[in-house]
Amino acid sequence: MRFSKWLCAVGVAFICIANGAGTALAQGSKTLRVPYLEDPKTADCQTQTISYLLPLNCFDRLVECITVGPGESKIVPGLAERWEISDDGRVYTFYLRKGVFFHHGKELTADDVVYTFDRMLDPNTKALNTDILDWVEGAKERMDGKAIYTKGLEALDRYTVQITLRGPYAPFLAVMASPQASIYNREFTIKSGSRFGLTPETTSGTGPFVMKEYVLNDHLLLVANEGYYRGRPQLDEILVRITPDPETLRMLFEAGEIDIFDCDYAVSQIPYFTNHPRWKDYVASSPRVGIYYYSINQRIKPFDDVRVRKALQMAIDRKLILDELFYGKGHLENGIMPRGLICHNPDLPVIEYDPEKAKALLAQAGYPDGVEMEIAQVSGARQWLRINEVVQAMLREAGFKAHIQQMDEAAFYATRSAGDLPSYVQVWSADFNDPDNFFYTFFAPRNTVARSFNYESQEVFDALEKGRSLSDQGERCELYRKLEQVIVQRDAAWVPLFSLEHVYVLQPRVKNFVAPWNGWSDMSYYDIHLED
Amino acid sequence: MAKRLLATVPVLIGVSILIFVMLNIIPGDPVTVMMKERISPDVVEKVKAQMGLDDPLIVRYFRFIGGALRGDFGLSYKLNRPVSQLIIQAFPNTLALALAAALVSWLIGIPAGVLSALKPNTIVDRVFMGFSVAGISMPIFWSALLMQYLFALKLGWLPVSGFYGVKYLLMPALALGWSAAGIIARLSRSSLLDVMQKDYIRTARAKGLSEVQVIICHALKNALLPVVTVMAIQVASFLSGAVITESVFGIPGLGRLAIDAIRTRDMPLLEGSVLFATFLVVMGNAVADILYSTLDPRIRYGR
């Protein structure tokens, strides 16, 4: 029969294609298999702000911020074995380690460091992380295309780099430890051009792992860097499997096909894992230096009135959310600096849950019958919808009739950067351990608009600038603690919720897993080893 | 055939304009969504200007179409790779999935439809048609999840997800194919029932042919005509992206590229993948027409 012959032909064709499509997954016994929800897109951390997986495993920085205890961090020497900071806080001199080699075999020199940071500022790079070098002298001219080099970057000799800032900027050393400050090789990076970081052939760093395979939206294979300066990693390989569906991811873990499961992907499964006889001994958790919060847009009435904002702060039963939705795995926060961040203030006045008082405040403000409000969120984002639905019900008790407005991701972020987004719930985890990373991010003149706070306070703007330039840590902490009270307690411009623990479940063979201090899902896998 | 190819040109132009306009009407820009929580207004402004996103709509459209005419769809904003390369890499995966799913849908759908038609309104008919309706009605993400749970987690027969050979293709093909099998089964049933009432079937029986011969040589040949059309169109629609199946099973195919492009307002990638999919659908229709006229000599096109 003609039809069945045709079917046969199609069948054979498909088997050929199916065998050819997709690459086989080679796995050894020392291969750590980790999942990843979205493709990291590139190993070049200058041109993306989302994924730190590749920068943390394939690259190094001048200094590193390591985890020294649960939620505690310390800055230690990295590619620079030591450094000096001038008395006026403007000149940073880094002395590089000798004999550190890039994956393609070239030795690291001071010129590579100068090149790396200059490349970030070069307008042709279209870098997204130029903020971290804002304070370098001549950065602005370089970014605007008015200079062909950056004045503040200089290689004094083969192993000495000097970075001059346009003014003292206290967090600079911490910033140098952030993944965005990863160091590249001049020659190799120039040769790779716009393909740098996109393929194994065009990626080279000094880090503990070398990129060997990269199939977009499918998987990445990193192999141990035999000549790593801190010693070869114990793992032979890291297999990163891109799996966009969180449910699938959980099944992959339970079927033993991946080694680490990040419970951020399925918070509702935490009790399942912590009570399951097979998994309960393999749950790792750590505090994270990050804070969950609700934003308030002061451009949207009636939130221009501080009494309404205070009422909103009081109308949310944070304890209940923490206990019911997050199984009590965290702490309430009453400010902006969560625990673990330097300058964190444990003695802040507690924001009490009090719907009656909130109602009274609304009445005082001229809304005895309550007010309507919007809560925005990215559509389909379950982790936010769970919180928003609970909060919506709580707010009703206090006279806020909240509507949850779901929008797609791009619309959400565009509306927000125009300053028009209503209240939303989010979490911010520290990129570097400094209050500046929290305060400046949310309350600097342009940022307060771009994050739809619209909290225009000259007092705050001035304090932010002052905080950046002070070098005495005690003095800085005092300033930020005062500022925190002004923003949260006096002006009620921010609704702090809580900081959560980061919970992971591991396959029994995973040893020496240390959750990163800041609570990122991305981490360096250098210290991990596997036992069978 | 040449005529049909030519006829796709206005369709493609229309689609390209439509996508362009729609993507620019909805709020959102690629740079803010690329930066997400780590947004910096200064950087957004600079990078948008560097990418030429501040230029007027019409300028951007002609810049794109100018490149597209020379076969250059440009670089994806977010992935920073040539759009044509991304499509070429993703297509074989989608093709394998589409063919496997089509195979599943035919192997289940046609026999089910035929058996139902031969025993209309019996328990056999009810069971097969119930199965078909379930396939059509059940969302793929749900049936996929059930299959993963059963075949991978409980029984351990198949891998949960990924795409590294035939073994990995079975579940996605079954999930996607089942939903299409329902349609095929229902269509072949009604079509066969219809044909069985025809005069030539009575003639065939009168000639003394066995029931099997009647069904296979006379009834089925005619009954499958409309089914073949639907089959060709289905394959085209599988090819243009089975987004959910690809996501659940982690298959790096065209559907995921396109959906990511919409999510991130990645104009070049979206234009490229949608134009490619449009082309496939138009071609699928053309193939259906040609098959139809080959199978049924009474139908002729373009004469």
CA angle at residue A61 from A57 to A67, to 5 degrees? 70
pLDDT digits (tens, 9 = 90+) for A310-353: 999 999 999 999 999 999 999 999 999 999 999 999 999 999 99
Return the higher-pLDDT residue of B64 and A491: A491
For residue A1, the chain B residues in CB contact (below 8 A) are 216
Give the one of B46, B79, B247 whose C-beta lies nearest to A41's C-beta. B79
For residue B162, the chain A residues in CB contact (below 8 A) are 22, 25, 218-219, 241, 243, 257
Task: Say whether residue A14 is in contact with chain B using an 8 A CB cutoff.
Answer: yes
E-strand stretches of A253-384:
260-262, 283-287, 290-295, 330-332, 371-378
- ipTM score assigned to the predicted complex: 0.87
Task: Say whether residue A8 is in contact with chain B using an 8 A CB cutoff.
Answer: no
Task: Say whether residue A105 is in contact with chain B using an 8 A CB cutoff.
Answer: no
At A21, the pLDDT band (50, 70, 90 cuts) reads very low
The predicted pLDDT at position A26 comes to 58
A377: β partners: A406
Q: Tokens 């000094």 label which residue? A: A206
At B300, the pLDDT band (50, 70, 90 cuts) reads low
Q: Rounded CA gap, A131 and B303, in Å? A: 67
Return the higher-pLDDT residue of A398 and A17: A398
At B241, the pLDDT band (50, 70, 90 cuts) reads low
- Please list, in sequence order, all residues whose beta carbon lies within 8 angstroms of the beta carbon of residue A49, skipping any fewer than 6 positions away: A128, A129, A180, B34, B35, B36, B38
Q: What is the residue-averaged pLDDT of chain B? A: 88
The predicted pLDDT at position A17 comes to 55
Lowest mean pLDDT of A286-300, A457-471, A508-522, name the range.
A508-522
Task: Say whether residue A201 is in contact with chain B using an 8 A CB cutoff.
Answer: no
pLDDT digits (tens, 9 = 90+) for B199-224: 888 888 888 888 888 888 888 888 88
Residue type, B141: F
pLDDT of A10 strictly over 70: no
pLDDT of B192 strictly over 80: yes
Taking an 8 Å cut-off on Cβ atoms, the answer to whether A450 and B156 are in contact is no
pLDDT digits (tens, 9 = 90+) for A113-123: 999 999 999 99
pLDDT digits (tens, 9 = 90+) for B72-102: 899 999 999 999 999 999 999 999 999 999 9
Buried b / exposed e over A41-68, threshold 16 CB at 10 Å, is: bbbbbbbbbbbbbbbbbbbbbbbbbbbe
pLDDT digits (tens, 9 = 90+) for A193-250: 999 999 999 999 999 999 999 999 999 999 999 999 999 999 999 999 999 888 899 9
pLDDT of A275 strictly over 50: yes
Nearest residue in chain B measured CA to CA from A6:
B103
Closest CA to A263 of A252, A279, A250: A250
Average pLDDT of the segment spanning A72-87: 95
Task: Say whether residue A295 is in contact with chain B using an 8 A CB cutoff.
Answer: no
The CA–CA distances, whole Å, from A350 to A183, A307, A326, A442, B65 equal 43, 17, 20, 21, 59
At B69, the pLDDT band (50, 70, 90 cuts) reads confident
The predicted pLDDT at position A16 comes to 54
Tokens for A307?
A: 């009494």
User: Residues B23, B267: contact at Cβ < 8 Å?
Assistant: yes
Q: Rounded CA gap, A128 and A180, in Å? A: 9
Taking an 8 Å cut-off on Cβ atoms, the answer to whether B248 and A248 are in contact is yes
pLDDT of A402 strictly over 70: yes
Give the one of A1, A7, A25 whose C-beta lies nearest to B106's C-beta. A7
Report the residue count for chain B. 303
The CA–CA distances, whole Å, from A483 to A35, A167, A477 equal 40, 22, 10
Q: Rounded CA gap, B194 and B223, in Å? A: 8
Average pLDDT of the segment spanning A384-398: 96
Return the higher-pLDDT residue of A26 and A92: A92
The DSSP 8-state label assigned to residue B75 in this structure reads B
Closest CA to A203 of A78, A49, A212: A212
Q: Is the dihedral of CA B21, B26, B28, B33 positive or negative?
A: negative
pLDDT digits (tens, 9 = 90+) for A414-458: 999 999 999 999 999 999 999 999 999 999 999 999 999 999 999
Average pLDDT of the segment spanning A177-185: 96
The predicted pLDDT at position B9 comes to 86
Q: What is the residue-averaged pLDDT of chain A? A: 93
What is the per-residue DSSP string for B130-180?
Answer: HHHHHHHHS-HHHHHHHHIIIIIIIS--S-SS--SSHHHHHHHHHHHHHHH
Q: How far is CA B264 from the centre of its chain?
A: 22
Q: Rounded CA gap, A338 and A435, in Å? A: 10
Average pLDDT of the segment spanning B52-58: 89
pLDDT digits (tens, 9 = 90+) for A282-315: 999 888 899 999 999 999 999 999 999 999 999 9
HSE, CB side, 13 Å, CA atoms: give it for residue A68: 8
For residue B169, the chain A residues in CB contact (below 8 A) are 18
At B177, the pLDDT band (50, 70, 90 cuts) reads very high
User: Residues B116, A218: contact at Cβ < 8 Å?
Assistant: no
User: Residues B179, B109: contact at Cβ < 8 Å?
Assistant: no
For residue B93, the chain A residues in CB contact (below 8 A) are 21-22
pLDDT of A7 strictly over 70: no
The predicted pLDDT at position A435 comes to 96
Q: Rounded CA gap, A109 and A247, in Å? A: 46
**Helix (H, G, I), strand (E, B), or coil: what is residue B183?**
helix
In angstroms, what separates the C-alpha of A328 from chain B's closest C-alpha? 26
Average pLDDT of the segment spanning A132-137: 95
CA angle at residue A273 from A426 to A429, to 5 degrees? 25
pLDDT of A147 strictly over 70: yes
For residue A410, the chain B residues in CB contact (below 8 A) are 26-30, 32-33, 263-265
At B8, the pLDDT band (50, 70, 90 cuts) reads confident
Task: Say whether residue A378 is in contact with chain B using an 8 A CB cutoff.
Answer: no
Phi-psi domain of A286 (left: phi exceeds 0; alpha: psi -120 through 50; beta: other): beta
The CA–CA distances, whole Å, from B62 to B24, B70, B84, B264, B276 equal 14, 12, 18, 21, 19
The predicted pLDDT at position A1 comes to 44
User: Residues A292, A494: contact at Cβ < 8 Å?
Assistant: no
> Best mutation site among B164, B220, B249, B264 for testing chain A: the one with the most A CBs within 10 Å?
B164
For residue B166, the chain A residues in CB contact (below 8 A) are 15, 18-19
Average pLDDT of the segment spanning A130-140: 95
